[in-house]
Amino acid sequence: MRGGERSAVGRRELAYAVLLCLVGAALALWAATRTWSVELTVRPAPLPPVRDTRSGAGLLPWLPALALVTLAGGGAVLATRGRLRQVLGVLLGVLALAVAAGGGYGLGVDVDGSVNRQWPVLCLLGGLLAAAGGFWTAARGGGWPAMGARYERPARTAPRAAPASTGSPESPAPMAGRRTTEAWDALDRGEDPTAD
């Protein structure tokens, strides 16, 4: 496989892994905020029964927090590279498995009243999807491409010479007619490119 093909495959795998993490964590977070159980407490007539609803977050307060951390970690996969990305993948996989365990707990919990099983199932599914993305990142993420270097500021190798001034020694030459990049370079040096 040539370098260009390998890079394209790496970018595609990176996109799939990040999507798995983000979609799975978002699904688990959304499912954790839905109503998992409803308990009706009967009161003497003529009072109506009291309806007590509990969400996944009410049953397991740590569940939405872990799902949110997993969601943020899925985005962080893009900003990392090499060994750090693989370590992040392991961490994401473990967190996502804990989220999936929360969904599994919701399936098996014995709560008085009616229990809605669809939300724990979606939480379990979301955790498993995010775990797959995290462990895929741990296994293959070291060779995936990193963010482009065009977003990083180039390092200066040698100081630039000050431009020849046409006025007083305090004011440098005006930048009229020069390229925009030269004006920005003058600003970086602390000079005023608009001075006459």
Residues 173, 144 share a domain: no
Whether 79 is covered by a domain: the verdict is yes
Distance CA 12, CA 64 (A): 29
Residues 167, 139 share a domain: no
Whether 84 is covered by a domain: the verdict is yes
- Identify the pLDDT of residue 163: 55
Cβ neighbours of 82 (radius 10 Å)? 12
Q: How are strands ordered across the β-sheet holding 50-55?
A: 50-55, 35-41, 114-115
Residues 115, 31 share a domain: yes
CB 173 within 8 A of CB 46: no
Residues 187, 104 share a domain: no
- Identify the pLDDT of residue 185: 82
Residue with the two structure tokens 């001075």: 195
Residues 100, 25 share a domain: yes
Structure tokens at 82: 């090499």
Distance CA 110, CA 37 (A): 10
Whether 154 is covered by a domain: the verdict is no
pTM (2 d.p.) = 0.67
* Average pLDDT of adjacent 10-residue blocks, the chain of 196 residues: 70 90 95 83 77 82 94 91 92 95 84 76 95 93 73 57 52 57 82 74
- Identify the pLDDT of residue 21: 94
The closest of 132, 141, 163, 20 to 88, measured between CA atoms, is 141
Residues 184, 118 share a domain: no
- Identify the pLDDT of residue 144: 84
Distance CA 43, CA 49 (A): 5
Q: Provide the domain count of the chain.
A: 2
Residues 95, 63 share a domain: yes
Residues 63, 18 share a domain: yes
Whether 15 is covered by a domain: the verdict is yes
Where in the sequence is the domain holding 188, given as residue range(s)? 160-196
Identify the CATH number of the domain in which residue 20 sits.
Answer: 1.20.140
